[in-house]
Amino acid sequence: MRTDVLGVGFDPVTMDEAVERAMALMDRPGADYVVTPNPEIVMICGEDSAAAEAVADASLVLPDGIGVIYGARILGRPLPEKVTGADFALRVFARMAGEGRRLYLLGAKPGVAQTAGERLARQFPGLVIAGCHDGYFSDDGPVIDGINAAGADFLLVCLGAPKQEKWMRANRDRLNVRLMAGLGGSLDVYAGAVRRAPEVWQRLNLEWLYRLIREPRRIGRVMKLPEFLVCVIGQRARELFARLGKE
Ligand code: UDP
């Protein structure tokens, strides 16, 4: 059963369990997909029903970011741990490398996916980079043909949210891959174009602050976090009143 946080259902799994589930999905036919909503995406789902449906249809919904973890805790139904999308995928790549599996990288500005692929191939010997394509295209057809010709097991779709979630849902039946994951800016991180916060910032759950200091134009997006927490507290209060009403 999924854990509801403002209408978005999250799978209550640890990082280890998420990786196991992903590997099991990769073994079964059909293009399943993984999404990793953060508070900003949860808020978008509240206003955009197509985004909400794309998230709900995913085979695995992972809590990306400490905001979702706090939200679930405030609601009285805690999730086991934060499962950051970029880290989750690295764990999956390590498993794929051991099995000689094939990865396709879709998204980001021209050249970024290529660099990310070269770096990942060096980091995970045995992992096969089946192909890559930038995320700025207007016609899906040729891009999908290219992905299908590459014969990949796992496809990263990094087009930003909620575009990537909608893209995966709309095209899953045309794609000959085993698993997809919508991972936002992860290709920029893997390519070394954007730096992840140092580990101590990550441990202190301040990754969002580090990103904001480096990219101040993200302020509008970061301000979704307090808005999200206010909505969570509102939902908690409504649930408490509803329970009191029944007793
Ligand atoms: N992007 C893309 N195609 C688009 C719009 C965005 O490939 O039409 C890429 C963009 O270049 C960036 C990623 O999607 O690499 C989104 O990054 P962002 O930092 O916004 O994602 P987050 O991780 O915050 O969701």
pLDDT digits (tens, 9 = 90+) for 135-179: 999 999 999 999 999 999 999 999 999 999 999 999 999 999 999
**62 within some domain:** yes
**14 within some domain:** yes
Burial per residue of 123-135, b for 16 or more beta-carbon CB atoms within 10 angstroms, e otherwise? ebeebbbbbbbbb
- 59 Cα: distance to centroid of ligand 1 (angstroms): 22
Report CA dihedral (54, 56, 62, 68) to the nearest 10 degrees. 100
Q: Are 59 and 18 in contact (CB under 8 A)?
A: no
Could you identify the atom of ligand 1 that is nearest to the CA of residue 194?
Answer: 19
Q: What is the pTM of this model?
A: 0.94
pLDDT higher than threshold 80 for residue 182: yes
Mutate to test the pocket of ligand 1, among 159, 189, 217, 219 (most ligand atoms within 8 A of CB): 159
Burial per residue of 67-93, b for 16 or more beta-carbon CB atoms within 10 angstroms, e otherwise? bbbbbbeebeeebbebbbbbbbbbbbb
**240 within some domain:** no
pLDDT higher than threshold 80 for residue 126: yes
**230 within some domain:** no
% residues pLDDT > 90 (the chain): 85
Q: Shortest CA distance to 60 belongs to which of 102, 106, 19, 90?
A: 19
| Burial degree of 146 (CB within 10 A; 0-12, 13-18, 19+) | middle
Pairwise CA distance, residues 76 & 98, whole Å: 39
**225 within some domain:** no
The widest CA-to-CA distance across the chain, in whole angstroms, is 61
Which residue, by CA, sits nearest to atom 4 of ligand 1? 159
**Residue ranges making up the domain that contains 113:** 3-196
**Can you give the pLDDT at residue 135?**
98
Mutate to test the pocket of ligand 1, among 68, 136, 164 (most ligand atoms within 8 A of CB): 136
**52 within some domain:** yes
Mean pLDDT of 71-92: 96
Top-ranked range on mean pLDDT: pick from 62-66, 110-114, 203-207: 110-114
Mean pLDDT of 195-212: 88
Cα radius of gyration (the chain): 18
- Classified as helix, coil or strand, 177 is coil
**186 within some domain:** yes
pLDDT interval class at 195 (50, 70, 90):
confident
Neighbours of 240 (CB within 10 A): 11
Task: Please indicate whether residue 221 or residue 106 has the higher confidence score (pLDDT).
Answer: 106
pLDDT higher than threshold 80 for residue 247: no
- 137 Cα: distance to centroid of ligand 1 (angstroms): 13
Pairwise CA distance, residues 214 & 208, whole Å: 10
**Tally of structural domains, the chain:** 1
pLDDT interval class at 196 (50, 70, 90):
confident
pLDDT interval class at 203 (50, 70, 90):
confident
**Can you give the pLDDT at residue 246?**
82
Provide the CATH number for the domain around residue 118. Answer: 3.40.50
**238 within some domain:** no
**Crossing angle between the packed helical segments 15-26 and 85-98, to the nearest 10 degrees:** 50
Which residue, by CA, sits nearest to atom 25 of ligand 1? 184
